[in-house]
Amino acid sequence: MQKKIKDPVLVVLQLTGGNDYLNTVIPYSNPDYYDNRPTLGIPEEQVIKLNPDIGLHPAMMPLKNLYDNGEMSIIHGIGFEKSTRSHFRAMDIWHTAEPEKVGTEGWLGNAIRQIDPKGSNPVTAVNVGHGLPRALVAPGVSVASVSDLSNYGMLTVIEQEKVRQNMLKRFEKMYAPSIKSNPIMEYLGKTGLDALKGADMLKDSPIKYSSSVEYGNFDLAKKLRDVSIIHTSNVGTRIFYVEHGGFDTHASQGKTHEKLWQEASSAIVDFWDDLKQHDSAENVIMFVFSEFGRRVKENGSGTDHGAAGVSFVFGPNVNGGISGEYPETKAELLREGDLNPNLDFRSSYSTLLENWLNINSNEILNGTFEKYNFIK
């Protein structure tokens, strides 16, 4: 009997705050790195070396097996022209794929519309966390948003309504500036009121789930466990969204960045182990991004907002290895102290949309962008 082909699923993991590219994928053979990072530079002997030029932060050791197995792709120098150092504006650009103007529709929201044009499945997209990321927002598109799947099924009807109303307040506060105040209630009526609609479908998922994988006792691990629970419950979710915050490391970066990547690395590995244990990994890809990288030169105990960053793609259907080139680190080739992006982030979106989700990216991205070979 022929095995049924499963629909492709995309998990997006947002590293909020501006992840430090240079201390994540470390150019350990480049003297410029250590000249600019006399305090924060990772000693060469501690770097997890991937080739003679670059390696990973030592906290990322759990990911080394995924890389060695060809299930992890590193996307160098990702960003956009005229980079902004504003968290809000940079994240807005990533969420709407609109670098030149303020967008009101999320790139994934528009993707959901193509995947499920009639909105027949209220859990086609699920945000595991509070509120609703702008990337998932588009008129008429319903997205389920659940902050804690393990507790949701135990809430009373009154408590669920409170969760719903709190989400709507956050939604209105977040999107009123760009949507304008007049149509905000109409917009909420079409989309916001449905944002938790599918959560009721998900509340029984933990009952059916069992796994020998022991996730860590921290926020991201719990979120990715919830993604696994929903995915393996086969309710038809095609897009998941998860956030991991705290990357705005202006001070005390050494310990903070280490802890953030210890958590991210172990949670990602546990997630893939869990999916594989359930024979549910082959149709999933995870895309990891941050709104920008950080300044090349440290400020003493931390780093300030920068430009070019690094993204990662994980999964059995990933062409493992490296996409693109590490940006130049020489002082005269920096732009105001920042690494120059050499890959438009919309190229990664185009690749994910067309080569993975099998949908047309032109309308979503308002143009055609070069695709990269990080998907089999």
Tens digits of residue pLDDT in 111-157: 999 999 998 888 999 999 987 899 998 888 888 888 878 765 433 34
Q: Which residue's entry shows tokens 């916001």?
A: 192
In angstroms, the CA 110 to CA 140 distance is: 10
Q: For residue 187, what pLDDT is reported?
A: 47
For residue 298, the Cα-to-chain-centroid distance in whole angstroms is: 25
Q: How far is CA 229 from CA 12, 13, 86, 126, 296, in A?
A: 16, 16, 35, 12, 40
Contact 244, 264 (CB under 8 A): yes
The amino acid that residue 44 corresponds to is E
Instruction: Please provide residue 261's backbone torsions phi and psi, each rounded to the nearest 5 degrees.
Output: -80, -25
Give me the helices (H) in the chain, please: 31-36, 64-68, 87-96, 107-115, 149-152, 157-179, 184-190, 199-202, 205-208, 219-232, 253-277, 345-355, 362-365
Per residue in 314-369, pLDDT tens? 999 999 999 999 999 999 999 999 999 999 999 999 999 999 999 999 999 999 99
Domains and CATH numbers, the chain: 9-156+196-365 (3.40.720)
Distant-in-sequence contacts of 144-149, Cβ < 8 A, 24+ apart: 144/195, 144/196, 144/197, 144/198, 144/199, 144/201, 144/202, 145/195, 145/196, 145/199, 146/196, 146/199, 146/202, 146/226, 148/222, 148/226, 149/202, 149/203, 149/205, 149/206, 149/226, 149/229, 149/230
**Mean pLDDT across the stretch 16-41?**
98
Cβ count near 316 (within 10 Å): 18
Which token pair is 44?
């060469």
Which token pair is 323?
């996409």
Contact 72, 61 (CB under 8 A): no
What is the pLDDT confidence band of residue 166, given thresholds at 50, 70 and 90? low
Which token pair is 200?
């009721």
Q: For residue 150, what pLDDT is reported?
A: 73
